[in-house]
Amino acid sequence: MIFNNILSRRSLEQAHERCSFFDPYIGLDAGYLQVTRLSGRGPALLVVPEGESPFEAYRTLNEPMRPQQTFEGAFEWMIHSLAFMEEEWKNAKPWNPPTSATIAPRSQRTYGVRFLKVPEIRAIEKTLITNNRPVAVGIPGYILPMDQNGKLFLKHQSPITSLTVEPRDAINIVKLPKTEGGWESFNLIGQIWGRSRLTIAYEDGLKQSIHYYVIKPAALVVEDMGNFLMTKQWYVNPDDPFHRSPSVMSYDRGIDSIVEQDGRVWIAGLGDEGGSGSWVAAAMKQFGLPKKEELVKYEQFVNEVLWGGIQYKEGEKKYGVRKSLFYYEPDDFPDGYYDKEINWESWTSWNKENAAIVNRSYDYPHAAAAYWSLYRLARNYTELVTSQSWDWFLERAFQTSLAMIKFAKGHSRHGQMEGTVYVNILLDLQREGWTEKTDEMEKAMKARTDVWIEKAYPFGSEMAWDSTGQEEVYAWCKYFGADAKAEVSLNSILGYMPTVPHWGYNGNARRYWDFLYGGKLRRIERQLHHYGSGLNAIPVLHEYRENPDDFYLLRVGYGGMMGALTNIDQEGFASAAFHSFPSMLDWDDYSGDYGPNFFGHSINTATYVIFHDEFGWQAFGGNIEVEGDIVKVLPLDSFRKRVFIAPLGLWLTLDAGNFEAIRINMVDKIVELGFSPSTPYTQSARLRIEHPSKMADVGEFKLAGEAEEERGALVIPLDSGTTWVRLKDQK
């Protein structure tokens, strides 16, 4: 499967003109390869099986040249893989059972592939159906929290003869009535944690495999991660010469130990993405699911290590963010202090001077996100954050945002991973009435945006091509009304972020080099659910909320957002990413740069309620039940703080409190919200009502009754039981 993805010595404009991306659905006879333009616009190409050519496995070739940052590589569609599984891949758990074939004398077997032209990316499944290929649509995707009812819809001209789940009983499957359009439908409940495979056999002899990942209930997954971060990864060593204590450090799951030394010094130095990942994840966990005893520790980290350590708190570099606290300076330490098994000869082993430099723009959003999350908690909850006042945190979030532009002029001209946090900081400055600071930040960010508007493809980075800048470019272009350039960024994302019936590739944003910088096993390799998944889901789901008829956006965005939860194991350790090479097919042992992935999840996690013309009422991130004119929704996403009701274009978010239940009356245009009981820290829910999309015959929803308003949010006192309020369409 040779397609031109060679980006070497090409500008972004040239690469978008000449190169293609490709993503596999390793689904046996129903499998295919989709080939898209880098721009995400225009026609796409499908490669489907011809004859007896199931898509059984997928491997990288070392020709025409070895993979590198500007060339992910050439790949092979493997029809038979048993020989590899017996030797090179014997320690891996394959996507599909390996096969071989013997062709007897004077017998024959047809192998081949067929190319299908697709008018545009959103028409891939329609093209498959037109060409009599099996198609699957999973809701909410192919990652199944154990407390949610998943749905699977299958379309093929030939009847189903059997469905088989491996491991046995991993997923409970109940057949439902066919849809009006002839889709077979099923209810799925995950029962055994981890990877599973559903194989569908059709009467015409075709087989289709669909790859699922079963996880604990989403909130429990996040709670597990928080506990792991603040216990196993909590580093306390008052004598640490690098002043990293107390902090949330990088972790090596292979040896179950904190990474105190690594030749890539940032991993052990709380810097870059590879070293800040764990403390960013910890910040965003508290943002959505705060826990007092964990917050006490995290505040210690912010006050003692982030402020004045990672980030300068005085002098000419005040608010500048260091590249790393850990460094390699052997003359400053006794012989043998640095691990002799580690290679310290690489450029990655910064000395003390280089580690203290503040010119890497990508380090700044991490610090800003930590401050912003604590600001939100201090401002909206009672006595939950107590070490500093709410304005202390917001001031530092603001100053860190501007310090990036001051100290890191080079790469701050690009969109940043987690750059959405800057928009959120600006919005909170506005809500607080900090007019001068609002104007200063808005002016600075407008100058960056003006540069992007003039570029054809304004999302570069340190790399020749990247999938990190689109998130912030989209956010600011939307904010400043540059919708055409925001659309360029969105389409770019759709070019490398597919929806396919495979938990690892569904919503997976193309990334393949960051194992070199944040993984334990270092190599160029397609990373499944690296941080591109969570981050790129932010603009995709934002766009969906403005265009709720675009079901494709919801599927892609929700797949990326949920991908971030698969990285978290049963005890709570969060891996940087999954290794996709068939010789491994497992999670990396390093926590690495997971943090930005969970940032994307935390910004996006919500329950999406939809009515689909073919599939009816469905919920992404919750369970749904229809009783007459009433649609009942049980939110089950990670935070239970956001609900989008697509048929009403209604976006409901909570700055404090949790949704416990939703009741929707579409006839009378009434939405009833049930909030969880009060706690010592959460005595009021703080509700925001927004209408990102304008729906025909739907007006503005307002609260029935009186409520105080603070900073644009309705303050609703909570009872000891469920507190109910009613919203009514004013049209």
Domain positions in the chain are 1-123, 134-215, 218-358, 497-604, 607-729
- Asked if 361 and 410 touch (Cβ cutoff 8 Å), the reply is yes
Q: Other C-beta atoms within 10 Å of 231: how many? A: 11
What pLDDT is stored for residue 731 in this prediction? 85
Place of tokens 């201090």: 378
The alpha carbon of residue 116 and the mean position of all alpha carbons in its chain are separated, in whole angstroms, by 30
Cα–Cα distance list, 471 to 126, 205, 417, 474, 604 (Å): 29, 43, 7, 5, 12
**The pLDDT of residue 379 is above 90:** yes
What pLDDT is stored for residue 465 in this prediction? 81
**For the segment 182-207, what is each residue's pLDDT rounded down to a tens digit?**
999 999 999 999 999 999 999 999 99
Strand order in the sheet with 607-612: 616-620, 607-612, 642-645, 650-656, 684-690, 713-717, 708-710
CA 722, CA 252: separation in Å to the nearest integer?
Answer: 42
Q: What tokens were used for 520?
A: 């334990």
| Sign of the Cα pseudo-torsion (473, 478, 481, 483, in order) | positive
Beta bridge partners, 645, equal 609, 650
DSSP 536: H
**How long, in residues, is the chain?**
731
What pLDDT is stored for residue 238 in this prediction? 96
Average pLDDT, the chain: 96
User: For 134-215, CATH number?
Assistant: 2.60.40.10
- Asked if 540 and 562 touch (Cβ cutoff 8 Å), the reply is no
Q: What is the DSSP string of 418-476?
A: TTHHHHHHHHHHHHHT-HHHHHHHHHHHHHHHHHHHTSSS----SSSS-SSHHHHHHHH
Place of tokens 């697509």: 646
Dihedral of the alpha carbons of 35, 39, 43, 44, in degrees to the nearest 10: 10
Place of tokens 């990036």: 404
| CA proximity to 530, closest of 606, 590, 464, 462 | 590
Query: Is 118 strand, coil or helix?
Result: strand
**For the segment 653-703, what is each residue's pLDDT rounded down to a tens digit?**
999 999 999 999 999 999 999 999 999 999 999 999 999 998 989 999 999
Residue 65's pLDDT band (cuts 50, 70, 90): confident
Of 14-28, 123-137, 269-283, 357-371, the range with the lowest mean pLDDT is 14-28
The torsion region of residue 236 among left (phi > 0), alpha (psi -120 to 50) and beta comes to beta
Q: Other C-beta atoms within 10 Å of 300: how many? A: 16
What pLDDT is stored for residue 397 in this prediction? 98
* Mean pLDDT, rounded, for 323-335: 97
Q: What is the DSSP string of 70-101?
A: TB--EEEEES--HHHHHTTTTTS--SS-----
Dihedral of the alpha carbons of 223, 226, 227, 230, in degrees to the nearest 10: -170
Residue 291's pLDDT band (cuts 50, 70, 90): very high
Cα–Cα distance list, 281 to 56, 226, 276, 642 (Å): 35, 8, 9, 19
Residue 458's pLDDT band (cuts 50, 70, 90): confident
**The pLDDT of residue 71 is above 90:** no
Amino acid at 729: D
CA 533, CA 599: separation in Å to the nearest integer?
Answer: 11
What pLDDT is stored for residue 627 in this prediction? 96
Q: What tokens were used for 327?
A: 């460094």
* Mean pLDDT, rounded, for 604-624: 98
* Mean pLDDT, rounded, for 47-66: 91
DSSP 362: G
Place of tokens 């579409």: 666
What pLDDT is stored for residue 464 in this prediction? 72
Q: What tokens were used for 269?
A: 């130095």
Place of tokens 């000869």: 345
Q: Which runs of consecutive H residues, i.e. helices, occur in 39-152?
A: 82-86, 124-130
CA 417, CA 362: separation in Å to the nearest integer?
Answer: 7
CA 501, CA 498: separation in Å to the nearest integer?
Answer: 10
**The pLDDT of residue 271 is above 90:** yes
Largest CA distance in the chain: 84
What pLDDT is stored for residue 68 in this prediction? 85
DSSP 148: S
The alpha carbon of residue 113 and the mean position of all alpha carbons in its chain are separated, in whole angstroms, by 32
**For the segment 482-531, what is each residue's pLDDT rounded down to a tens digit?**
999 999 999 999 999 999 999 999 999 999 999 999 999 999 999 999 99
CA 219, CA 290: separation in Å to the nearest integer?
Answer: 12
- Asked if 173 and 190 touch (Cβ cutoff 8 Å), the reply is no
What pLDDT is stored for residue 66 in this prediction? 79
Q: Which runs of consecutive H residues, i.e. helices, occur in 302-363?
A: 352-355
Q: Other C-beta atoms within 10 Å of 476: how many? A: 25
What pLDDT is stored for residue 9 in this prediction? 84
**The pLDDT of residue 6 is above 90:** no
